[in-house]
Chain A
Amino acid sequence: MHQPDATPRHSIYYRYQVHAPWLPAAGSAQPRVPVVIVGSGPAGMVTALELARHGVPSVVLESELQVSLGSRAIVFTRRSMEILQQVGVAARMTEAGLPWRNGNSFYRGQRVFRMAAPHDPDDRFFPMLNIQQQSLEEFLVDACKAQPLIDFRWGNKVTAIAQHADHAVLTVDTPAGDYTLPADWVVAADGGRSPLRSMLDLKLEGASYEGFFVIADIRVDLPLPTERLAFFDPDWNPGNTVLMHREPHGIWRVDYQLPTGETPEQALKPESLKARIDATLAMVGHAGAPWEMDWASVYSARTLTLPDYRSGRVLFTGDAAHLLPIFGVRGANTAFQDAQSLGWHLAHVVKGLAGERLLANYSAERVGAAREIIDEAGKSTRFMTPPTRGFQLLRDAVLSLSLQHDFVRPLYHWRTSRPHEYTHSMLNATGDDDGLFTAGPARGAPPRNVRLGADDFLLDHLGGGFELLLFNPAGAVPAPLLAEVDAVRARGVAVRITAIGTAAVQGADQCFADADGHVRARYGVPGSGGAYLLRPDQHVCARWLTLDATRLRAAFAQALPQ
């Protein structure tokens, strides 16, 4: 019988709430459900919330009774915030988090590189926001609780899975014994050590890097701004790297590489942690500052992915699907993009609006994203923790040259997580005018936000279905276009028509005057008649200089393959 720990986890700043376990009624058979999500981390909960937004109910199974142990993911990107806005928790994140944009790299006491991530007035969210994962998960749990389509079951641990042609059956253990739960689809969001991945005997592909890092959260009062601090080859840790980030609640994340040969057990001994944290504080000019430990853990860099995120009736997402290096904040930030993608793809299949080929597309797009991230993060990883003598020499040569030569300094760039562009997606229109545009988000790209007014941005108004943006239409949506959209809606597909550049348009669901033509410029639309079609994850799947009903029909047929 599964006995999850009912003692609140230890933290010096976060009060853990222990939730009551969900217990099956004795002898009652569980009905088959459309979707079961295994795991209630960021990936699982965002998937559940996205599914619910598309009207698809889900059961979420969480083996524990509490949110994340320790702060874990602490840096969230702008695109993550745009995704979290879609599921209703961005305001709480903004309220509780620390926004930032500057990163600094130090060598021999000199700041050799400083970079400000771009922050456009058209963006609602900062490039980065620091907040502990427990808080993020708490906000997502609250959002799930408020959503009647989500059946959240704490203390439910999956112990077995049987795959069938059109469904899977999970065995779920609880403090009151186990039960079986049949589901049309199972989402494996059960984290980096994914038990489902093991049960299905699936293997990750890629590389693991040697070299361990300690991450420790301490409470300490440091008069330093919220910026990324990276120290290379500091006196107290020769040849290795040390990172620091400010977190809310007066907490700092200290992240340092271990000398070759040291084990995680040795590194996590209190006296070892104390000596190194003291040395880190001395390094930033605050020797002897009093501090208190909250949580510490050890990680190593890995660049691994499943080659296919679908296995029978099981769909993998987040860390269960891939293990990505921490450098460049790739874990949770990739998980949000996975989950947002999986949510709409799966919802449209469950609702019969597209064939299972759509799930193959989910896998193709997100495996492609993981491989792109692995390639990009591999560069950062080889700089942060050089895997061979050659990479070590080159890295050290760059450190040394950077004291006096500008040209090597961009090699310190930390290549932060950014949204993948689905340039080669099979959902992209083939007969649109993408190639004739000279600006704006291209086919497959994420959308571009635009400031419309005080505390009012374009992306506040988009999402939850397909979005047809019509630029500068006359007084009414052309009747053939409206008829085409209505035909798609009649099948059950959510489509919203947004008119941009005309204050009142008959047939449009919403209109933005765009008096200064700024939205039109951001989308690279040269004149009236231009249009964009966005998928439910807001990525562009077609754009036109001129649109007619035939072209629109073709784009929908491409985006929702049967």
Chain B
Amino acid sequence: MTTETPMTTTSSTLDIGGLEAVYDRLAQAIDTAGEAKAPLFLVKLALLNAQALGDATLFAAHVDAALQDL
């Protein structure tokens, strides 16, 4: 079953191939950054993505979603 996440407002989403590519790329990048620098890397990435998203409200919804079930 697929459900639309409520925070998604753009029509373009990743297909499974795209999502798998992101999955691998991000995992490798976290390893490349190393344990000490991984948080810094992830914050930089989040800021770059937020800027590309161009929507502070949508970004806040993503933050809330990511804080769930930690």
A contacts, CB < 8 Å to B: 393-394, 396-398, 400-401, 405, 407-408
Contacts and interface: CB of A to CB of B under 8 A. Distances in A.
Nearest to B46: A397
B7 interface: no
6 contacts: A397-B46, A397-B47, A400-B40, A400-B44, A401-B44, A405-B51
Closest 3 CB pairs of A and B: A397-B43, A397-B44, A393-B43
Contacts of B34: none
A401 B47 contact: yes
B48 A396 contact: no
A393 B39 contact: yes
Interface residue tally of chain B, by bracket? under 10
Interface of B: 39-40, 43-44, 46-48, 51
Contacts, number: 22
A393 B46 CA distance: 12
Contacts of A398: 47
A407 B51 CA distance: 8
B67 to A, nearest CB: 12
Given A401-B48, A405-B48, A408-B47, 13 more contacts: A393-B39, A393-B40, A393-B43, A394-B43, A396-B40, A396-B43, A397-B40, A397-B44, A397-B47, A398-B47, A400-B40, A400-B44, A407-B51
Contacts of A396: 40, 43
Contacts of A400: 40, 44
B49 to A, nearest CB: 12
A396 B41 CA distance: 10
Contacts of B39: 393
Nearest to A401: B44
Contacts of A408: 47
Nearest to A397: B43
Contacts of B48: 401, 405
A142 to B, nearest CB: 52
B3 to A, nearest CB: 31
Contacts of A394: 43, 47
Contacts of B44: 397, 400-401
B46 to A, nearest CB: 8
Nearest to A393: B43
Contacts of A407: 51
A87 to B, nearest CB: 44
- The residue among B39, B40, B43, B51 with the most chain A CB atoms within 10 A of its own CB is B43
B38 to A, nearest CB: 11
Contacts of B43: 393-394, 396-397
